[in-house]
């Protein structure tokens, strides 16, 4: 898809240039051998330009990611995509949603041990803040990781992982705060015992979203949580 619009523009322009000489674009109808060869060479050159040109159109992956472009410190969202240079590094893609799960094992007075599990959905709400760190502008948008990814998986895969993506960067930042949340609020989370209680669900949502969003505001990331479950 990246070459489609650029290819169409080139073909249309090429057709207009050769239409008169080619009897509506049919090279074999040209009577002069030299002109026929020149026209065929021109069409071959046009095809090469379409394939090899560094200018192409970057489409958004609707439902999965959106295109943003960079001009100095300015970051602009392009919901319909944008023309870009192959080697310019002047654009990136931002995933629409990154899903991370986590769980915290709670000791209660019964004595019992239970695990509270929850899922976080994260997205970039302010691309200017997120891409203020210039190294993020050169990351690929998505990786092969299937959503949702658990914080345990992220911890296990973090060592030696140098192939960062925008999606992976978001997941790492959010997972870090999720693990901090699990540690800081573990005593309070032990009071949650009924996932069907809307008051408990509202209290949990308010607590975790306020904590993580406050810590990730400087990165332009916001999260929403799903209802917790008890295992």
pLDDT digits over 123-178, tens only?
A: 999 998 998 888 887 777 766 666 778 888 877 776 555 567 888 889 999 999 99
Out of 1-10, 30-39, 47-56, 102-111, which region has the weakest mean confidence (pLDDT)?
1-10
pLDDT, position 5? 47
Q: Residue 231: CB partners within 8 Å, gap ≥ 6? A: 103, 114, 115, 116, 117
Model confidence at 179: pLDDT above 80: yes
Is pLDDT larger for residue 223 or for residue 106? 223
Domains of the chain: 4-53 (no CATH), 96-230 (3.30.479.30)
The tens digit of pLDDT for each residue in 196-215 reads 999 999 999 999 999 999 99
Preceding omega of 148 cis (within 30 degrees of 0) = yes
- Closest C-alpha to 140, from 71, 64, 213, 80: 64
Question: For residue 30, what pLDDT is reported?
Answer: 58
Average predicted confidence (pLDDT) for the chain = 77
Which residue, 2, 10, 21, is CA-closest to 44?
10
3-state class of 37 per DSSP? Answer: helix
Model pTM score: 0.71
């Amino acid at each position: 898809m990246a070459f489609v619009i650029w290819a169409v523009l080139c073909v249309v322009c090429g057709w207009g240039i050769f239409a008169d000489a080619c009897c509506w674009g049919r090279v074999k109808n040209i009577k002069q051998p030299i002109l026929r060869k020149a026209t065929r060479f021109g069409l071959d050159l046009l095809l090469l330009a379409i394939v090899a040109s560094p200018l192409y159109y970057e489409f958004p992956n609707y439902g999965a990611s959106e295109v943003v472009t960079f001009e100095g410190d300015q970051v602009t969202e392009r919901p319909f995509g944008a023309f870009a240079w192959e080697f310019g590094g002047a654009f990136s893609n931002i995933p629409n949603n990154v899903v991370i799960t986590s769980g915290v094992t709670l000791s209660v007075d019964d004595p019992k041990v239970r695990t509270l599990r929850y899922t976080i959905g994260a997205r970039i709400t302010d691309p200017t803040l997120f891409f203020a760190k210039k190294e993020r502008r050169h990351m690929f948008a998505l990786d092969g990781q299937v959503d949702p990814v658990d914080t345990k998986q992220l911890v296990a895969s973090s060592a030696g992982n140098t192939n960062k993506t925008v999606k992976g960067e978001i997941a790492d930042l959010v997972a870090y705060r999720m693990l901090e949340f699990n540690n800081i609020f573990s005593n309070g989370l032990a009071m949650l015992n009924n996932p069907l209680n809307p008051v408990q669900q509202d209290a949990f949502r308010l607590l975790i979203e306020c904590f993580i969003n406050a810590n990730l505001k400087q990165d332009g990331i916001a999260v929403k949580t799903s209802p917790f479950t008890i295992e």
